[in-house]
Copies of this chain bind each other. A is one copy, B any other.
Amino acid sequence: MKRSIATVCLSGTLDEKLDAAASAGFDGVELFEADLINSPLRPDEVRALADARGLTIDLYQPFRDFEAMPEPDFRRAEAKFDVMEALGAPTMLVCSNVSPHAIDDDALAAAQLLELASRADARGLKIAYEALAWGRHVSEYDHAWRIVERADHPALGTCLDSFHILSRGTSLDTIDAIPGEKIFYLQLADAPFLSMDVLQWSRHYRCFPGQGALDVRGLLARVLAAGYSGPLSLEVFNDVFRQADPCRTAIDAMRSLILLEDEPLPEPAALNGFAFVEIGVDSPEIEDLLRAMGFAHVGPHRSKPVQLFQHGEIRVVLNHGVGEDDPEVVAIAVDSSDPDASAARAEALLAPRVERRRGAGEADLTAVAAPDGTAVFFCGPDWLDDFLPTGEAESDGVPIERIDHITLAQPFEAFDEAGLFYRSVLALEPSASAELAAPDGLVRSRAYAAGDVRVVLNVPALASTRERSELQHVAFATSDALAAARAMRERGVPLLAVPDNYYDDLEARLGIDTAPLRELGVLYDRTPEGELLHFYTARLGGRVFFEVLERRGGYRGYGALNSPVRMAAQTGGERHAEGAGA
């Protein structure tokens, strides 16, 4: 189907918005009236600009506060029809009246919309009438449809908007009763569940389908079943998108639509956990740390300044060729049952390919770039052959077994974009967002998981003008956290110190004996499903640290309750180190 995006979704000036929409592959746009009013381009120039970029102008929107008025303003409407003719925009969105002067009278609304449609029709234009969720007398789509049906004019149809419908929880049954050709337009938006005034919710927190909590997919199926054949058009008001790079937002938007349409998207290949995590480093200290954690240096890469370390199923690749500053996670690799299929899906979802130099006979690893620049590799079984064996043996004294999850700090503007990237490209399922209180601000955290592939994205709840820590970590699963902590301590691994106050509170809250935890600095959480025991290494001088965690029973979380104490300890440690260095 044709894909369209409202200009209000994108930041920038109108020409920048059109450029962004075209470069992401959209077929058309909804022109948001303010974007035209604020532009120095005349309507015919906008039309030419859109034309030159292969974009149609599918909708002119919104025309407000028109129907059910004591004196409907046809002069204003005719002036906007002039603009639409110059733009080549076939359809005007009329949203339900919010004026205090509006009259609660469906017959009047229908009569005035009929007159409007006749005037539009005389110019070859159409009117799509939509219920705003906060309309004064018309706030449900089925009500708007009844008015359209009553007016009964071929140039008058309805516009359905997933946010306005799903935010109110209106039954979708009436959709089946609307003839497909009377649905003139379909606007799609998702949103997180928020308990707030629906207008504010709509104006600030909408997001692209797949980023929120609304069943946009279910609604789309109903609308298509009703016979709708117009554009799938995104209309998202979002404070972050308003200030983000419009080209990135447009790609994010297109990815959302591709995922929503499903076909002809290649199926995701089954993933069997993480193949490796790659850390960019410029110092050898991390090698000592990995050995102290029981890793063996499996060997150097055949042709690159890259070293592989392994412990059980955990593989850590140290790349001395990237990472000019402090150590950071530069790539994650999933073990795919079909790397080519994984890569094809990623490509279909517009993930940018990462090109890496490859020597003769070396494995052809496909990688794509996540929104924060992290490379995501799709590995089959043969990539290990690229490393020359040293014969070094793993130490068996540290019981850590595999990568449980990888937590990546995201740039503020990329949180939803990154979430949709992992959700679509790797077919990971999101869990609910958590909010973590760090000493330097609130952090939003959301996990995306499928089987043993778990990625946790962290982002500050608000961007800041102050510098602050944006940490990453790799969490290793163990079947015995206490033994792992003891072994690491004995082997000289620097572990994060946990305050005694934490254990005092744990005892007060849960009445458990915390002595073994306290001795080793192991944190604890329990839910009805199970228990979590976990601990952290100190930071590697840069953004990266490691976690070791033991999941008992059906514990599925990530210890969010303990994140504040961890973050405070890291901040305190950092300040202490700064003080000592000064």
Contacts and interface: CB of A to CB of B under 8 A. Distances in A.
22 contacts: A11-B441, A12-B440, A13-B439, A16-B439, A16-B575, A33-B505, A34-B437, A37-B501, A37-B504, A37-B505, A39-B499, A41-B501, A42-B500, A76-B509, A83-B504, A195-B200, A196-B197, A242-B441, A242-B442, A243-B464, A245-B466, A413-B466
B440 A11 contact: yes
A354 B129 CA distance: 59
A508 interface: yes
A241 B41 CA distance: 42
Contact of A239 (B38, B194, B411, B462): B462
A439 to B, nearest CB: 5
A471 to B, nearest CB: 16
A358 interface: no
Contacts of A13: 439, 568, 571-572, 575
A478 B151 CA distance: 51
A38 B568 contact: yes
Interface residues of A, number: 64
A569 B40 contact: yes
Given A197-B196, A441-B243, A565 B37 contact: yes
Nearest to A411: B465
A12 B16 CA distance: 40
A244 interface: yes
A36 interface: yes
A236 B568 CA distance: 20
A439 B507 contact: no
A463 interface: yes
A75 B511 contact: yes
A465 B38 CA distance: 25
A483 B463 CA distance: 44
A327 to B, nearest CB: 22
A57 interface: no
Interface in A470-504: 497, 499-502, 504
B466 A499 contact: no
A568 B463 CA distance: 23
A464 B465 CA distance: 8
A258 interface: no
A508 B569 contact: no
Interface in A26-52: 33-34, 36-43
Contacts of A197: 194-196
A430 interface: no
B575 A79 contact: no
Interface in A156-193: none
B239 A461 contact: yes
A456 B571 CA distance: 37
A419 interface: no
B12 A439 contact: yes
Contact of A242 (B33, B437, B507, B571): B437
10 interchain residue pairs of minimum CB distance: A243-B441, A79-B508, A196-B196, A195-B197, A38-B568, A463-B463, A38-B565, A40-B499, A37-B505, A76-B508
